[in-house]
Every structure is written in structure tokens, then in C-alpha cells.
Chains A and B, each alone.
Chain A
């Protein structure tokens, strides 16, 4: 029996019906899922791999793997978080290949003390990003997040850029909730510290 029944007052996510149809061989249903989530998967893959070609490959491979493994999707998590889990694993694998010989995992570099306590006390203006043009600002934001260790970067992207909950992020990455919280805090503080170089008050006035 298909698992589209509501349990109590819980609403069934619309993806569940699409997944069920795709599982029965309806490629158009799967196409809807691809169109719904391809931008997010690309963004996550690009953030983790830092490489455009790899990100394109991840989009293709993640959706294909998801399609092939639809039978394994339990439905007790959202399809999106399940898909993101596949995409994150594919991304880390490609990052590892590019850095041949260097281990890359979600646990890498998390022992660093950087950012555990803020050092740069400079305040920012009310709209610090207005000091820069759109493309210059995007370069600053990309460069800054690229400098984070992959384990921190991935947690920040899932939690703060893509808006997954702490619990979903933990489930997606196979980490405990306290581990996600600890990495998120460190990632946020490191980014804040690094952005302070660009956003401190009156930076461009020479004051």
C-alpha cells in the first residue's frame, strides 16, 4: 500500500507522491523533482567542491543515484534531505580526488582553534555590503567561504544558505546534533572574523 496516508494531523510532503510515481517508472514525475532541486544541488556541490566541472558532474550523478536508489528511500525523511545527503557524498568524493593523497571528510580540520573566540572587535556599518558593487561583493563572499575547512563550509552551507534545520543537517551529514551545532558556531564566527576585513566601519573612508 502506498505510504501517502496522513498520520494524525501530519501533512504528507508533496514530494512523496512524486517519489512514489517515479519509483513505479514515471520519469516525468522524477523530472519534476529534478527541476525542483537541481539549482540547490548545484549550489551545494559548487560550495563543497569549489570546482564548476565537478559541480556539474555532481548534479548528474546525484540525481541518477537517487533515481536508481528510490526503492531505498524510506520516506521517514524528506526527499530533499535524502538527495542532499547523496550530493554531499558525491561532492566530497570529487574534492578528495582533486586533492590526491589528501584525506577529505566531513571531519577534516575541525580541531582548529580559529574562530572559537572572536578576536576582531571592529564593528560594521549598518549596511556593510553597500560599500561594494554586486560583483565585487560576490567575489568577497565566495573567497571568504572558500577559506573555511570543508567540514565547516558544508555545515554552514546546509544550515545557513540552504536553510536545513540542525536536525536535518545532522541527519544529512551523519553527524550528531551537538557536532553540527559546534561546527556551525565555529563556521559562523570564522566567516564573521574574515568578513570584518572588508566590512569594518569606515573601511573605505580611511578612518
Chain B
């Protein structure tokens, strides 16, 4: 398996959506390719970091203002 072929399967591998046979082939590639090990681990970490950090929080005051505006308009519909 080449690195390009490995990368094409990376998402499915990260999401455990690969067959047993394919997983074995991917793991075999990883045993001999440090480049793809690093790519896989750092890509997994990238997703984890974005999942675990709230970048755009809706402040309570603004939230209440928006909710009131939405519902006031809905009542007029």
C-alpha cells in the first residue's frame, strides 16, 4: 500500500469504518511508514482539539435578546 492509498482511507480508519481485511492492510502500512503514523495521530488530535474547544460561545445576554426577538416575530406570523 502506498501513502496516497493510505491517506484515501484515513477518515474511514479514524472513524472505525473499515473492514477487518482493510484494517489489517492499513496497519501493515503503518508498521513501515512513520510519515503516515504521524499524519494519522496529528489528524486525530486536530479533530479532538476542535471538538473539545468552544470557539464561538453565545453569551447569555445576547442569547436572551435573540430569543425574545425571534419569538416576538413568530407571534406576529
Contacts and interface: CB of A to CB of B under 8 A. Distances in A.
Interface string A95-131: 0000000000000000000000110011110001100
Contacts of A79: none
B11 A184 contact: yes
A121 to B, nearest CB: 6
Given A38-B63, A117-B7, A123-B38, A191 B46 contact: yes
A39 B10 CA distance: 31
A163 B50 CA distance: 11
Interface string B20-61: 000000000000001100110111011101110111111000
Interface residues of B, number: 36
A56 B62 contact: yes
A138 B55 CA distance: 6
A185 interface: yes
A123 B41 contact: yes
A188 B11 contact: yes
Interface in A154-200: 156, 160-161, 163, 181, 184-185, 188-189, 191-192, 195-196, 199
B56 A47 contact: yes
Contact of A34 (B35, B56, B70): B70
Given A141-B55, A185-B11, A196-B42, A60 B70 contact: yes
B56 A30 contact: no
Q: Is the interface of A mostly helix, strand, loop or mixed?
A: helix
B71 interface: yes
Contact of B38 (A121, A142, A188): A121
Interface residues of A, number: 46
Interface of B: 3-4, 7-8, 10-11, 34-35, 38-39, 41-43, 45-47, 49-51, 53-58, 62-63, 66-67, 69-71, 73-75, 77
Contacts of B3: 117
B77 to A, nearest CB: 6
A163 B63 CA distance: 22
A53 to B, nearest CB: 11
Interface in A49-71: 55-56, 59-60, 63-64, 67-68
Contact of B55 (A60, A142, A191, A195): A142
B46 to A, nearest CB: 5
A196 to B, nearest CB: 7
B58 A118 contact: no
